[in-house]
Amino acid sequence: MQENEIQFKEKINHSTENENRSRLLKHLPVVERRLQLAGISTSVLEGGEGRPVVLLHGPGENSFWWMRVIPSLATTHRVIVPDLPGHGASKIQGGAFDPDSIIIWLGKLVEQTCQEPPILVGHVLGGSIAARFAINRGDKISRLILVDALGLGKFRPSLRFAFGLIRFTFHPTEKNFDRFIPQCMYDVGSLRRQMGSKWDLFQNYNLECANNPAHKAVLQVFMRKLGVPKIPPEELGRINVPVSLIWGRHDRANKLKIARDASQRYHWPLYIIEDTRDDPKLEQPEAFERALRQIISESRK
């Protein structure tokens, strides 16, 4: 094993980390650690005991987008939630990161955090990455769950979604965040009330990340190479682990038709979450978790 491949694992000193991030972390039953994975200084939230579940977030997001399902899921499973390379607190070291190396990065993550093949759950960009990993390294996971995932069809978001995304990407202000978020969330007002004081911490941390020039550059490359391109059907057909889909009924980015077509073509079970757009885990965590647990229980039969 080469020196740069040796496992390096340490608890992060939160006194030196982002205040909003640290305050969000206090609400979760996890420990944040840093792993060196394929040249990426990777922040990982870990908690719970049991069968491992790896959760991959969406583009321009971070591990805290899973915050509403982590507490319950960690009561029965070992939960591993990384910040994708160049997202959140994960830092790309020594120059640019080749997105094609994401399979190596994810393989190292599984190797260093899971004692058995995990259930791999990917949301939007994380879904595209998870599907590509299953195509190339399916022997390393036990099941694949894709949530409003990119890569399964042509990326043709609604005009309002596309315009809001472009405006926020180039000018990530609080005003533009408030304008764009209704394109991603079915009922923003309800979500704000449910999250209470955590909403402001969540919004502020995401605005800080969105204004980071390094994060912006990584996001553009990842979307161009891993998010927008459609995965060839013959490659998806080669996935040799059980696959299930969870989708928001009112998704304006990856419309429900994409999920229905994939479900019919590959015979993947589809679970539709009501009253949500492209982020059912954040908007409807209880319904999302019921679907997730049903999928997991089916995999044991």
**Domain spans, the chain:** 3-299
Q: Which residue has the higher pLDDT, 170 or 10?
A: 170
Q: Residue ranges of the alpha helices (H) in 114-173? A: 125-137, 159-170
Q: Residue ranges of the alpha helices (H) in 186-252? A: 188-195, 197-210, 213-222, 233-236
> Above 70 in pLDDT, residue 217?
yes
191/58 Cα distance (integer angstroms): 18
> Above 70 in pLDDT, residue 18?
yes
> Above 50 in pLDDT, residue 179?
yes
Q: Per-residue pLDDT tens for 60-108?
A: 999 999 999 999 999 999 999 999 999 999 998 766 677 789 999 999 9
> Above 60 in pLDDT, residue 119?
yes
> Above 70 in pLDDT, residue 9?
no
Class of domain 3-299: alpha beta
Question: What is the average per-residue pLDDT within 3-25?
Answer: 57
> What's the confidence (pLDDT) of residue 4?
31
> Above 70 in pLDDT, residue 294?
yes
Question: What is the average per-residue pLDDT within 159-170?
Answer: 95
- Taking a C-beta distance cutoff of 8 angstroms, is the pair 78, 46 a contact? yes
Give 273's pLDDT tier (boundaries 50, 70, 90): very high
Cα-Cα-Cα-Cα dihedral sign, residues 63, 126, 255, 178: positive
247/124 Cα distance (integer angstroms): 10
Q: Are strands 31-37 and 40-47 parallel, antiparallel or unpaired?
A: antiparallel
125/59 Cα distance (integer angstroms): 5
Give 300's pLDDT tier (boundaries 50, 70, 90): low
> Above 50 in pLDDT, residue 189?
yes
pTM of the predicted model, to two decimals? 0.93
Least confident stretch, 2-16, 114-128, 269-283? 2-16
Q: DSSP E strands: which ranges in 19-151?
A: 31-37, 40-47, 51-56, 77-82, 91-92, 119-123, 143-147
